[in-house]
Structure formats: structure tokens, C-alpha cells
Amino acid sequence: PRDIETRRRVGYMSQAFSLYSELTVRQNLELHARLFHIPDAEIPGRIAEMSQRFMLEEVEDTLPASLPLGIRQRLSLAVAVIHRPEMLILDEPTSGVDPVARDMFWQLMVDLARQDRVTIFISTHFMNEAERCDRISLMHAGKVLASDTPQALVEQRGSASLEEAFIAWLQEAADASQPPDAQAAPVPAMEHKAESVAPRQAFSLQRLFSYSRREALELRRDPVRSTLALLGTVILMFIMGYGISMDVEDLRFAVLDRDQTVSSQGWSQNIAGSRYFIEQPPLQSYSELDRRMRNGELAVAIEIPPNFGRDIARGTPVQIGVWVDGAMPNRAETVRGYVQAMHLAWLQEMAGRQASPNRDTSLISIETRYRYNPDVKSLPAIVPAVIPLLLMMIPAMLSALSVVREKELGSIINLYVTPTTRSEFLLGKQVPYIVLGMFNFFLLCALSVFVFGVPHKGSFLTLTLAALLYVIIATGLGLLISTFMKSQIAAIFGTAIITLIPATQFSGMIDPVASLEGPGRWIGQIYPTSHFLTIARGTFSKALNLTDLWGSFIPLLIAVPLVLGLSVWLLKKQEG
């Protein structure tokens, strides 16, 4: 039931025993007592009562996983009734236990029904257990065949036992479901010996696509994985596209002007007029400078010395003090470059004003222009780099989970008992995630162009071809990781670490691969993200095409069979 108050009036015990394996017997009881809002003062007494009633006193500090099945059964029942429910639902509670434990369990249920007046619903396949109930509903194929007391059901069919009565109802239901004109056709005599089964094919597309179809159906029915597959990249694209920025702007600064002349004020106004700086109230002392930088009010503090204007007019060298918040070294270096560049520009301007009219002050003029990203903004550089990162992480994670989930559920046994080969199994698992990966690729490109405003200038066909190879590698890497993992949690963490760290640190997303040293450079040179990142930035920003980028395709073409081959080779055909 969805109503919370109704849930508190119902107790439920599943066939698999819904116990927390990491908690002791006492902790399981205490947790469920708190979940059902039993007052704190009553919890110790209620736990003691349950322990005594269900014979759990000697195992209160034991973990459920180490308990015999019969004791775990009693613990699960105690957990289900600790909040004094009016109704108790038990799903095959005695399956898998020995007869002695089964009889003991039934005695506990009888006590609950007769003494505590609890209404108990039980599902069971054992007729001798059903005979103990007050009323029975005999069911077949999801339909109720009959419902009454055990004795009345036996008398209705004129049978000797409840089991015979149930069989009679089943036969009647089977006859009713069969068309009246349907008769068993005679089996023709075999004139020849039956042909042997067709020999097993080394590779079957039918088996491969059977796994692909089943994986697609499971993905569609799993809302968590479906959401991650369809919306995970979009959400992360917004977070990383707008969140990762190397732009150093809106720097709050203040000036300690000890000269107070037109020249010193002109120098300050030169800084304040820049789009990179925001002027704050002036400083009056070193103590104020220190305090305002400590509390983060200022990113830059500038001290203009006394006699600044006089020394500039005389041509005497002048030193200006600049304090920069160095908590972030890269940002601090950028700020330092800003201040030095603006200081030199101001000096050149002053020199031009003071020069004689007949003197040529522009014998050498250096003009700096930035190609591909004229405004030197982070967004045109970051967005094309985020696409390879997300196309590596999300598809790899999904494909790894698809195999590890089979291991956890035990359904991977079908690989062991059917003629399916390891390559058919893995490639069949991979196909749906390649399709999803390409869908995400087109979605990310659309977001880049229409939402982030980063135009695509080069060959989109070249980028699409590279993306297809890259997604095959990413999903193959997920399959490769899954061969080592046995739980979905381990698969998620392992895939995130193996894909995210190399893609962000060693693939040229922030620092060029050529600037790295040692193992970091080796990883960057062989990791697929480095080469796809070159293609993405080349087509987005530099208007390049296949003839310009063919060298980056070679590592991707080599990686496809290498990753898939390793995955097939390392996947065990039979778990040990």
C-alpha cells in the first residue's frame, strides 16, 4: 500500500528474508522498531520480548548471514511483527527449512493468530501447511479456483484429501481452457531416423541479436539505468560545460595609493577600466590590506609608492607592489600576467604622450591575435572537450553494469549452459549501448551548438565516424572492466576511476599531452580520449576534416579490436 499509515498496520516477510546482513540480530530489530516509530522508551522492552518469544536471546549479537536458516526465519518473522501489526503477509515462509524448524515456525504463527489476534495471509505450495489455515484460496494461473475452509473444499470435490481436491480443480481448469474441438492428433510413425541437431556455428548473429534484444528490453524496464543512459550525459554536460571554466575575470582589487597624484590615479583607473577587474574601496594601511585579503574580499591589492608621479616624469625606475591571492596557483599566475601587461601598456601610453612630435615612437608595433578562439573564452574550449569525457564514462559504466548485473543475479549461468560464445554474449550486450552512445553523441552536439553557442565549423561526418569508433571503444572498455568485477557497486566505482581520471588528467582536456612528463605522458599518448579530443576540437574550432585528422583515427582503429579481443579472452566461460 502507498498510504504510510496503512503500511504501519501491516507486517511483511518475504521469501528471501529482508534482513540487513551488516547488522546484528539486535540491530535489525532495533532498526525496524525505529522505522515503524515505536517510542524510544519502549524499544528495549520490545526487543527483549521478541528475542524471548522467538528464541533469539543467544544470537542477539550475531550477524544474520552466519545463522542457520531456521533461526533466520524466526528473526525475519520477529522483524515483521515487532511493531504489532494487525495484518501479517508471509510469502512462502517455510520454504527450504527442515521439518522441525517448519513445525516450530507454525507454532509461532498459531500463537500470533490466536493470542495476538493477528490476521495472517500465507502463500505456500505445501498442502499439509494449507490444511492448518482457517480458510484457503486455491489458485492456478493467477486465478482463484475455489475458496473455503479446508474441510469444505474436500467435501465439495468428494475427495479423500485436500491435495486430491486441488488436483481435481486443476484438471477441471485445464479442460475448461482447452477448445472443445481440440483433440490430440495421432503421432505419425517415424519412417526414418531423426536428423541430428544442426552443428553449432562458430559465430551466430541470431544469438548475438537475441542478447541485444533482451538487453534492450531490460534497459527499457529499468528506470534507473534508462534515466542514466538518456539523461545522464545531458545533466553532466550542463554541469561541466558551465561549471568548468578557466576564465579569470571579475577580480576584486583595491589600491593603497601613497602618492595621490594625477599619475597614480591614472594608473589605478587604467586597471579599473579593464573587464577583468572590479575596483573596491581604497586601502588605508597594511593591516587593512592583510585583513581584507584574508577574508577573501580582495583577490589583488596594489601599493603605489610615494613620489610615483614625480619619478615617472623624470624617467626614474618605479616599483609598484602587487599582492595576489595565491591559494590557486594557476589563477594567481594569470592575474600576475594581467597586471604586468596592463602596467606595460600604461607605460607605453605615457611614453607616447611625453615624446616629442617629431619623434617616431612606433618603429615596432606588436599586435597579438588569437586564432580559433578570438575572445580567449573557456566555453569554446571546454565544451568540445566535455563530449569525449562523457562519451567515455557513461557508456562504459552502463556496459560494465550489464555484465556484472548478470553475475549478481546468477543469470549469467545461461552463458555457461547454452551454445552462446563469449564473443556473441559480449557483443550482444554491447550493441544497445553503442546505439545509446551515438544517440547521446548527437544530443551533446546539439546542446553544444544550440544551447552553449559553440559553432561546429568542420566536417560533421568526420566527427561522427570518430564518435562511432570511440563509443565502441568506450563500451568495450566497460566490458573489459566487467570481467574483473563481481558486484555492481565495484563496477561503478572501478569504471568511474579508470575512465574519468585518464580522460581528465592525461588526455589534453586542460593541459596538452605534449606538456606532460613520465607515465602521465605515456597514458595520454595511448588513451583513446586524447585522440578523439583532438578530432573534436579540430572539427569544432579549426574547421578540419578527415584529411587533416586521419592520424588521430589510426589509434582508434587499433584500439577497437584490441579492447574487444581482451574482453572476450578474459571473460570466463565458466565461473570457478
Instruction: List pLDDT tens digits, range 218-264.
Output: 888 788 778 888 888 888 888 888 877 677 778 899 999 888 888 88
Kindly state the percentage of the chain with pLDDT values over 90. 21
Tell me the fold of 4-125: Rossmann fold (3.40.50)
Q: What is the pLDDT at residue 4?
A: 58
Q: What is the pLDDT at residue 398?
A: 92
Burial class (CB in 10 A: 0-12, 13-18, 19+), 495: buried
Residue 469 confidence class, pLDDT cut points 50, 70, 90: very high
Mean pLDDT of 323-335: 84
Query: Which of 466, 483, 456 shows the shortest CA–CA distance to 539?
Result: 456
* Grid cell locating 52: 524471548
Query: Which homologous superfamily does the CATH classification assign to the domain defined by 251-353?
Result: abc type-2 transporter like domain (3.40.1710.10)
Mean pLDDT of 523-539: 92
- For the chain, the average pLDDT equals 82
Q: What is the pLDDT at residue 576?
A: 46
Whether this prediction's pTM lies above 0.75 is answered by: no
Q: What is the pLDDT at residue 329?
A: 81
DSSP character string of 260-324: -SHHHHHHHHHHHTSTTEEE-PPP-SHHHHHHHHHTTS-SEEEEEPTTHHHHHHHT-----EEEE
Instruction: List pLDDT tens digits, range 262-304.
Output: 888 888 888 888 888 898 999 899 899 999 989 888 989 999 9
Q: What is the pLDDT at residue 194?
A: 44
Q: Which of 183-187, 203-207, 385-389 has the highest mean pLDDT?
A: 385-389
Would the pLDDT of 452 be above 50? yes
Q: What is the pLDDT at residue 554?
A: 95
Higher pLDDT, 418 or 45: 45
Say which DSSP state 557 is in.
H
Strand ranges, E, within 51-178: 87-91, 119-123, 136-140, 143-148
d(C-alpha 211, C-alpha 221), whole Å: 15
Q: What is the pLDDT at residue 470?
A: 96
Mean pLDDT of 27-42: 83
Q: What are phi and psi of 303, to 5 degrees?
A: -115, 120
Mean pLDDT of 455-461: 92
Q: What are phi and psi of 91, to 5 degrees?
A: -100, 100
Two domains, one topology: 4-125 and 251-353? no
Q: What is the pLDDT at residue 468?
A: 97
Q: What is the pLDDT at residue 201?
A: 53
Q: Which residues pair with 123 in a beta bridge?
A: 91
* Cα atoms in the Cβ-side hemisphere of radius 13 Å centred on 403: 37
d(C-alpha 333, C-alpha 335), whole Å: 5
Q: What are phi and psi of 248, to 5 degrees?
A: -110, 95
Mean pLDDT of 94-102: 75
Q: What is the pLDDT at residue 378?
A: 75
Domain boundaries, the chain: 4-125, 207-240+377-570, 251-353
